[in-house]
Structure formats: structure tokens, C-alpha cells
Amino acid sequence: MTEERDALIAAVREFADAELAPNAARWDAEKHFPIDTLRRAGDLGLGAVYVREEFGGSGLSRLDAVAMFEELAKGDTTIAAYISIHNMVVWMIDAFGDDAQRERWVPGLAAMTDLGSYCLTEPGAGSDAAAITTSARRDGDDYVINGVKQFVSGAGSSAVYVVMARTGEPGAKGISAIVVPDGTDGLSFGRNEKKMGWNAQPTRQVVFEDVRVPMSNRLGAEGDGFGIAMKGLNGGRLNIAACSLGGAQWALDQSLRYVRERETFGAPLADNQSIVFTLADMETRLQAARALLERAAAKLDEGARDVVSACAMAKRFATDAAFDVANSALQLHGGYGYLHEYGIERVVRDLRVHQILEGTNEIMRLIVGRNLVNRL
């Protein structure tokens, strides 16, 4: 199994080196979403990494998945992050849908001939996800959806939108998860947001104006949506942590080359003890974050009781550590680190949002702290 896993990781590394890394700077500068490249990722089995094989998934573990997302992010952090979100969408349909829903949506999503988007956050509801106001009103055998979702990755390019909407009472128990296909009447999109980073993937509002879909598009029972969203976010937090590690590891690798080659005061930067100490701190933080991430992934695979806290802890620590490492890499490069052509500033910009999405790191601390207090 170790040899098989190593071969899988090597194949993902080759894909990242050949397909992502040579294009990352241009895609960022041109704000280009590489749909053709995503389809080739689907050919490699990256569209449904931890989805069952029956409808086209790869059937791998979460431990495998975090290793794969780290390798992808070494090539392009933004595209790796989108693939991670897409995987969360496919997993939700596989885990909570029925066979008819799986047969309808999973094969195309697994192949990445169809792309998926996740619609939870709203203009007035971010960290307080139970406060969403997007409504899904019953009308015969249909739901009629009205509302606006904010910060949706892939919006406007996706074939499938998993939407959290209010079907019942206020609070978490009144939320359901509903699949809305692209092209449904009343579905529209806001402008592509101008962002600090993540330029190579579109981020738009998704607008629902009397969007009518059959009740058979609901995942699970009515009122299960909040639980589905939170379970999806456990894995999403691990994925985004892995993407952070990959971007930061790439920045550290670039720094190691740079300090060996760059000379100041007649000697390579690598001869400077303070530089060596900085590199040691960067490596230590990434190794610690990777260990915490792998621990959380193993707990998710096992269905451990403390999985929510473990995923939150790993996400918070890894995304903070990775951003700090990438920022240190920029500092080590001096003025060159600030130039687009070196790629370091792009990774710094891309990693910054990882401390916000999939639950802000302040919310991660709240989850861990509350679980700790409740355990006493």
C-alpha cells in the first residue's frame, strides 16, 4: 500500500509540475480559470478523490487526499484550492445523496467535465452560518429558491451548485441542502470579484430569483442541511490546510535555492547564521503543521469522536504557519520577493485567504476552545 500511495503522489506531483507550475504566474496575471487543465486533472482521478468508486470516484482516504492537495498546491495554490472545494461538493452528493442523485451528478463531477460550487456564505451571514436567509419554499413537488450567496468559487463556470437554503424554522434545524443545476431559470451571477489573491479562479455572487427545482434535488432529509454543511467543512478545512502547506513548501524550496545563490558582502546568504535560523524555523513550522494535519486526516478516516476539533486545530495551525513561512520567504528574497516573476508574492497573496475561508481561524480557535472546556 505504501508503494501504491507513493506512485499516486508521484503522479500528482508530475501533473502539478507539468500542467500547473509553468502556467501559475500567467493565470494569476490574466485572471484565467483553466477549465481544460481541470478536465485533465479529472482524467487523473482528482475530481472525486475520496468519493466511492461506483460512480467514478477514486475511493481514496483523507490521508491520501491531503498529500495530493499539498502536491497540487506546489504547482498552483489557487487551482489546488478550487479542486479541493470541488471535491467537497462531490463528496456531499456521494455521502448524502441517493443512488439516482449519485448517478446523475457524480460521474461528470468526478471526471471534471462538470464543475461544482458550494453555496453557504451570504452577504449577511459568514461565520454565523445558521443565520442564512436564502429561502427554499415548497410549491407542490418543487422548491422555489430566493436569496443571494456570496464568495462562491467557480460561480458562473460550474454545472452543479450545492445550496444551503432555509426550508423551515430559524436556526440550524431549518436548513436543507439542495442541488441546483446550471441553466435553471432564475439563476444568475454577480461580477467576478477583484481580489487580493486567488485570481485564477472566479469568485462571484450566486443569485436565486424564484429558482424552481424538484424536491428530489434535496440531499438527505429536510432540515439536514446544516449538518451536511458542517461535515463537509471538516474535510474542506483539511484540504485548504494541505493547499497552504503546499504553497508554503514551494516558497521554502525557492528560498533555499535563492540563499545558496545570492551573495552579499562577498558570501552566500546561506553562510549567514540568522538566515539559517530563519530557514530552520520555517521548516519546523511546516513539519509540525503537516503532522497535525495528517493526525486530523486519520481521525476523519476513522470517524473519531473529536474529529471536529482535530480538523479545526489543523486548519488553524497549518494556515497560520504556512502564511508566516511564505511571508518569511518573501523577506528572504528581499526586493526580488516583491516581484511578480519570482512567484513568492503570488503565493503570499493566495495563502492569506486560507486563514479566512472554510471558517475563519478565530472560529477555529472557538471550536477548539469550546470542545476543550466541554470535555472537562
Q: Which positions are catalytic?
A: 358
Rounded Cα distance between 135 and 146, Å, is 5
Cα separation, 148 vs 205, whole angstroms: 7
Question: What's CA 314's distance to the chain center, in Å?
Answer: 14
Cell 422555489: give the residue: 144
Of residues 34, 56, 31, 32, the one with CA closest to residue 46:
56
Helix (H, G, I), strand (E, B) or coil at 124: coil
Q: Which amino acid is at 197?
A: G
Cβ atoms of residues 124 and 95 within 8 Å: no
- 114-152 burial string, b = 16+ CB within 10 Å, else e? bbbbbbbbbeebbeebbebebbbeeeeebbbbbbbbbbb
Is 243 within 8 Å of 81 (Cβ atoms)?
yes
DSSP 20: I
Q: Are 343 and 254 contacting, i.e. CB atoms less than 8 angstroms apart? A: yes
Question: In terms of Cα–Cα distance, which of 164, 83, 162, 81 is closest to 122?
Answer: 164
CA distance 261 to 250: 17
